[in-house]
C-alpha cells in the first residue's frame, strides 16, 4: 500500500510538471517567436521595427487604398518596402491595388502588372479594404462589390502566383448599431470619430449581412484561393458564425487585428466556448493587431502602445489570469492555450497561410 501511494504521488508530481510544461508563462513572451500579421508603417523612423525585433516579432506590413487611389497604395507600399529593405529578416509586405480607375479599360492590366512588380519584390499577399462594398463606386454610381466578375481575373492571378488575399471586407457588426449598444469601447470611439463609416447612420447603405454575403460569394467562386479574413473576417461578434464559415470555406483563415475587444467580450459571456474555438481552429487563426506608425506620436508613446497591446494579448492567450482592458467594461479571464496552439496562432500559421520563408 505504501509503495502504491508513493507511485501515485510521483505520478501526481509528474502530471503537474507535464501540465506546467504544456503552457507558456508571462516570462516566455520575449523568447517565443511571434508574427504580427497586420501592421501599418507609413513613417521613416525605425522605431516600430526595432521594438518588434526586441520582442521577437516578425511583421507583415499591410498596404491599402483608403481614398486617394493609386497614390495612396504607392505611398503605403513604398514605406513598407523601405522598412523591409532595412530589416529584410523582420518585415514582409502585403501590397494592395486601387479601384479608383475601375471603369478605365486598362484597369485590369494595370492592377496585374502592379501586383506582379510587387510579387517580384517579394510581396506575400494582397489586401483589399472595406472601400470595396462600402465606399468606392463605379462611374454609374453603384457600389463596387468584391463578388463583381471584374475581380475574378485579379483574384485568379493572385492565387496562381501563390499569394494570399487579405480581406478587410465589411465592418464589425457594431458598426450597424447605435453607439450605446456597441459591445466594445474601441468600436464606439472609432465610429464616434468616423460617422462616415458608422452604418447605423446610413440606412441606405448595404447591411452587414449583404456585405458578408458578397464576400462569401467571392470565396465560392475561388475555392483554391488562400483567403485570410482581416479583423476576424468581420464575423468578430460570434465564434459560432466564424466556425460555420471555417467549415464552409477550408481555405479561409482569419487574423485577429483590432478585434481582441470582441474576443474579450465573448470570453466574459462564455470563456470555455471561446477557448474551445481557438483550440478547434488552431490552424486557421493568426495573431495581428493593426498597430501603426504614421509618425504622429512620440517614439516613447509608440513603443508603450506596442508593448501594452502585445503583452496584454500574450497574457490573455498564455495565462489564466483575471484581466481588465479598456476595450470592454467587464473583467475577463485569460484562456491559457496549450503551447502548441500558441505557437501556431502566433507564428506557424502565418508562415503557412502567407507562404513565408522563415
**List of residues contacting Zn ion (CB under 5 A):** 290
Question: Closest by alpha carbon to 292, among 324, 255, 257, 328?
Answer: 257
**Least distance between Zn ion and beta carbon 37 (Å):** 10
Smallest distance, Zn ion to C-beta of residue 159, A = 22
Least distance (Å) between residue 327 CB and Zn ion: 16
**Dihedrals phi, psi of 188, to nearest 5 degrees:** -60, -45
- 325: DSSP letter: -
> What dihedral angle (degrees, nearest 10) is formed by the CA atoms of 303, 306, 311, 314?
-150
CB of residue 288 vs Zn ion: minimum separation in angstroms? 8
Q: How far apart are CA 299 and CA 53, in angstroms?
A: 15
Provide the minimum distance between the beta carbon of 67 and Zn ion in the complex, in angstroms, as a whole number: 15
Q: From the CB of 134, what's the least distance to Zn ion, in Å?
A: 15
Nearer to Zn ion, 124 or 318 (CB): 124
- In the complex, least distance from residue 290 CB atom to Zn ion, rounded to whole angstroms: 4
What distance in Å separates the CA atoms of residue 125 and residue 354, rounded to the nearest whole number? Answer: 7
State how far the Cα of 20 lies from the Cα of 106, in Å rounded to an integer: 60
Q: Which of residues 61 and 315 has its CB atom nearest to Zn ion in the complex? A: 61
The residue sitting closest to Zn ion, measured at its beta carbon, is: 290
Q: How many helices (H) and strands (E) does the chain have?
A: 15, 11
Q: Which of 38/344 has CB closer to Zn ion?
A: 38
The smaller minimum CB distance to Zn ion, of residues 206 and 288, is found at 288
Q: Is 101 exposed, middle or buried (0-12, 13-18, 19+ CB in 10 A)?
A: middle
Query: With respect to Zn ion, which residue has the nearer C-beta, 148 or 290?
Result: 290
Contact at 8 Å (CB) between 274 and 267?
yes
Question: 355, 162 in Cβ contact below 8 A?
Answer: yes
Instruction: Using the minimum distance from each CB to Zn ion, give the nearer residue, 92 or 290.
Output: 290
Q: Which is nearer to Zn ion, 130 or 275 (CB)?
A: 130
Least distance from C-beta 224 to Zn ion, angstroms?
26
Rounded Cα gap, residues 53 and 180, in angstroms: 39
Residue among 65 and 290 whose Cβ is closer to Zn ion: 290
Q: In what order do the strands lie in the sheet with 125-128?
A: 285-286, 252-255, 226-229, 164-167, 125-128, 91-96, 57-62, 34-41, 292-293
Amino acid at each position: 500500500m505504501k509503495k502504491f501511494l508513493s507511485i501515485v504521488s510521483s505520478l501526481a508530481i509528474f502530471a503537474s510538471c507535464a501540465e506546467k510544461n504544456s503552457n507558456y508563462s508571462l516570462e516566455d513572451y520575449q523568447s517565443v517567436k511571434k508574427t504580427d500579421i497586420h501592421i501599418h508603417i507609413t513613417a521613416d523612423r525605425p522605431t516600430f521595427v526595432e521594438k518588434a525585433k526586441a520582442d521577437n516579432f516578425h511583421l507583415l506590413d499591410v498596404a491599402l487604398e483608403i481614398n486617394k487611389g493609386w497614390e495612396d497604395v504607392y505611398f503605403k507600399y513604398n514605406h513598407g518596402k523601405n522598412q523591409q529593405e532595412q530589416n529584410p529578416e523582420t518585415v514582409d509586405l502585403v501590397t494592395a491595388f486601387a479601384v479608383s480607375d475601375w471603369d478605365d479599360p486598362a484597369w485590369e492590366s494595370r492592377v496585374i502588372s502592379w501586383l506582379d512588380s510587387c510579387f517580384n519584390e517579394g510581396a506575400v499577399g494582397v489586401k483589399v479594404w472595406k472601400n470595396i462594398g462600402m465606399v468606392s463606386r463605379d462611374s454609374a454610381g453603384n457600389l463596387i462589390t468584391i463578388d463583381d466578375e471584374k475581380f475574378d481575373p485579379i483574384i485568379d492571378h493572385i492565387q496562381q502566383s501563390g499569394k494570399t488575399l487579405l480581406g478587410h471586407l465589411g465592418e464589425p457588426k457594431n458598426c450597424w448599431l447605435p453607439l450605446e449598444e456597441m459591445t466594445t469601447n474601441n468600436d464606439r470611439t472609432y465610429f464616434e470619430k468616423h460617422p462616415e463609416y458608422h452604418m447605423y447612420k446610413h440606412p441606405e447603405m448595404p447591411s452587414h449581412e449583404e456585405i458578408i454575403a458578397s464576400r462569401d460569394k467571392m470565396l465560392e467562386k475561388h475555392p483554391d484561393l488562400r483567403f485570410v479574413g482581416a479583423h476576424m473576417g468581420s464575423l468578430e461578434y460570434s465564434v459560432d458564425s466564424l466556425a460555420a464559415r471555417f467549415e464552409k470555406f477550408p481555405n479561409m483563415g482569419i487574423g485577429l487585428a483590432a478585434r481582441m475587444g470582441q474576443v474579450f467580450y465573448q470570453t466574459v459571456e462564455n470563456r470555455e466556448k471561446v477557448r474551445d474555438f481557438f483550440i478547434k481552429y488552431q490552424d486557421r487563426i493568426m495573431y495581428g493587431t493593426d498597430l501603426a506608425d504614421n509618425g504622429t506620436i512620440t517614439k516613447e508613446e509608440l513603443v508603450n502602445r506596442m508593448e501594452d497591446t502585445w503583452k496584454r494579448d500574450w497574457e490573455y492567450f498564455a495565462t489564466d489570469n483575471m484581466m481588465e482592458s479598456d476595450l470592454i467594461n467587464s473583467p475577463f479571464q485569460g484562456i491559457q492555450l496549450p503551447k502548441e496552439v500558441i505557437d501556431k496562432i502566433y507564428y506557424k500559421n502565418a508562415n503557412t497561410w502567407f507562404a513565408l520563408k522563415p
